[in-house]
Structures are given as C-alpha cells and as structure tokens.
Amino acid sequence: MDHLVHRPLRAAERFIPAELLEVLLRLERCTSTDEVWNVVLTLARSLGLEVVDYVYATDFRNWEQAQFIRTTFDSKWLDFVRQFPHIRHTSNFRMHAVHYLTPLMVGPAYLDEQGEISPEKRRHIQLSAQMGLEAGVAFPLRMGDPGQAAVMCFGGRLSRRQFDALMDAHGWTLHAAALSAHTRYSELFKAEFIQRNQLTAKQKELIRMVGQGLLDKQIAHGLGISFSAVRQRLTAVQQKTGARNRADLAALAARLGLVSDPLIRDHAEDLTVFLTMGDGKTGTEVRPPQGTSTAAE
C-alpha cells in the first residue's frame, strides 16, 4: 500500500489494523464529502453494520439552527420526526455527544446501561430499532469552533453479545475511522462551500478583505473599484452565502481559511514557539539568536 504521494508505508505504520489502514489511505484520496461518506459506508458494510448516522451541527446551542445530516435511515425517519417531535430533543447527539467525548453504546440491546430514562427517550430508542438500530455505538466528534459538534453512530440488527464481540474485534478501527473521516469531511465541506454557493474569485477576495478588517474605502482602493461597487458586491455575496452582516462575512473568511487564525500569530522573526519544558517550566516565546538559521530544523 502507498500513500497519496506514492511513498511506501514504513514498517512503523503497520501496527494498526488492516481495515483501519485501508480507510485512512482511502480518506487521503478523497476529494469530496460524498467520497468520504462512501468510505465510511464501505467500512460499516464490511463489518455487517447496516446503520450509519452522521450528525453535524452548526450550533447545537440553538434548536433551530440547521444541521447537516448523512444517514442510512430512509425517509420514514422524517415521518417519525413529524409524528413524534420529541425525537429532535432526545437524540444521542443532543443528550450525550455535545457534552462528552466518550463513546456511547446505543439501541435497545444496551437499554439497561442507560439508567433512568424518560418515556420519550425510550420511544426514540424503539423507533431507531424499527429502522435497524438494535445495537450500536455513537462516537462524539468535535469541531474547531464553539457551539459546533458532531456524532457518528454505527449499528445494526445485532444482539448485545454479537455487537460486544464486534466491538472487541473492531471497536478501535471504528472509533479511529470516525475521527479521521470527520476531520477529512470537515476539510472538504469548507472547500465545497465555495462551489456550492458559486462564489467567484473576486467574491472570495472580497470576503478575505472583509475578514482582514478592511473598511469599504480600503477595499475599494485595493480592488480598484468605486465605493458603491463595493457595497453592491457585498450585498451579492451576502445573498449567495446567507451572511446576515459584515461580522458573518468576517467569520466566514476565517472558517474558509481565507485569513489566518488570530490565535496563531505570524512573526517577523525566524522562529517563535510557545515552549513548555518537561521540568514544568513554561516560557512564553523562545526565539533563536539573531543571525541563527533555522532552516535545518
């Protein structure tokens, strides 16, 4: 097996399970979120798991905020949501994944491990079982921005004994694959935002300049256009992206990587690092002596 750049795998990289190694290599080659999802589905199906549920929330603190969901559940699940609105509030995502990092065993097979639960939650578990989730595991996932979170659940029509055995053999693979797939999906999702919203190169540049904190007059000078043209372009970009104001556009610039992360400052000096030593001593910044080359490092 080779990496994307065709470098043969070193012996030190062969300690992980073969299934996980194959997943990581395939994720390296993914160029779209659809491809990432297919990698996850292929892994699940290879282990006999028919259910995969991936919930990606833009803001779990706001019940009305949009969520991006990829699931093997069919459209009957939407009928359940309409019939039993509490489903939105009793999901493993809302009740566990946004608060914790620990995996959670789910489904009626593990009902006795969930302690005292409400009738609404019990109904939710029963409905999930009707869709094929008799036993499963939910892996909480994290994102870089406050309020955002995700969870990936794998399961199927298995008994507790069967699923316990599967987790003993492949639990690490599923967990590591979920984390890596989520990272890759998030990266590509940001990249696809430009395509989905059909932003032009000029509109990307406009978002970048807003993210840099430039005023309309400065943007007009930088782009060589009139002040009124800047306002028109800003309006068009807001319509395309759904941004409500200038602050939204600035946040969008940061999310898309069009401006640098303010927590990671650029410095004029050759090298600046935050240093914490093993003896407990902590420095703020360590810089090489003037004239010292760091190229070899």
Compute the distance between CA of residue 296 and CA of residue 279 in angstroms, rounded to an integer: 26
CA 71-75-80 angle, 5° bins: 100
Percent of the chain with pLDDT over 90: 38
* Higher pLDDT among residues 262 and 245, named by residue: 245
Residue 167 falls inside a structural domain:
yes
Q: Which residue range is the domain that position 139 belongs to?
A: 11-194
Q: Answer yes or no: do 143 and 247 share one domain.
A: no
Residue 248 CA to residue 226 CA, distance in Å, equals 23
Instruction: Judge if 172 and 64 occupy the same domain.
Output: yes
Q: Are 189 and 236 in the same domain? A: no
Both 173 and 141 in one domain: the answer is yes
Task: Give the whole-angstrom CA distance, residue 96 versus residue 138.
Answer: 9
Query: Last residue of a domain, which of 194, 214, 242?
Result: 194
Out of 37-46, 96-105, 124-133, 249-258, least confident range: 249-258
User: Average pLDDT, whole number, for the chain?
Assistant: 83
pTM listed for this prediction = 0.78
Is 57 domain-assigned? Answer: yes
Q: How confident is the model at residue 59 (pLDDT cuts 50, 70, 90)?
A: low
Out of 174, 194, 214, pick the residue that ends a domain. 194
CA distance 234 to 186: 26
Q: Residue 266 falls within a domain, yes or no?
A: no
Residue 286 lies in a domain: no
Contact 108, 141 (CB under 8 A): no
**207-247 pLDDT, tens per residue?**
999 999 999 989 999 989 998 999 999 999 999 888 889 99
Residues 82 and 48 in one domain: yes
Same-domain status, 152 and 225: no
> What value does the mean pLDDT take over residues 159-169?
97
Same domain, 17 and 151: yes
Residue 109 within a domain: yes
Instruction: Answer whether residue 283 is part of any domain.
Output: no
Do residue 88 and residue 105 come from a single domain?
yes
Where among 239, 255, 271 does a domain terminate? 255
* CATH number of domain containing 174: 3.30.450.80
Contact 223, 206 (CB under 8 A): yes
How many C-beta atoms surround the C-beta of residue 33 within 10 A?
A: 21
Alpha carbon distance 17, 34 (integer Å): 24
152 inside domain:
yes
Claim to verify: residue 215 and residue 93 sit in the same structural domain: no
- Is 140 within the bounds of a domain? yes
More confident residue, 76 or 147: 76
Residues 40 and 99 in one domain: yes
Say whether both 165 and 128 belong to one domain: yes
Kindly report the CATH number assigned to the domain that includes residue 240.
1.10.10.10
What are the residues whose beta carbons fall under 8 Å from the beta carbon of 263, sequence distance 6 or more? none
Angstrom distance (rounded) from CA 17 to CA 232: 55
Could you tell me if 130 and 163 lie in one domain? yes
Domains in the chain: how many in total? 2
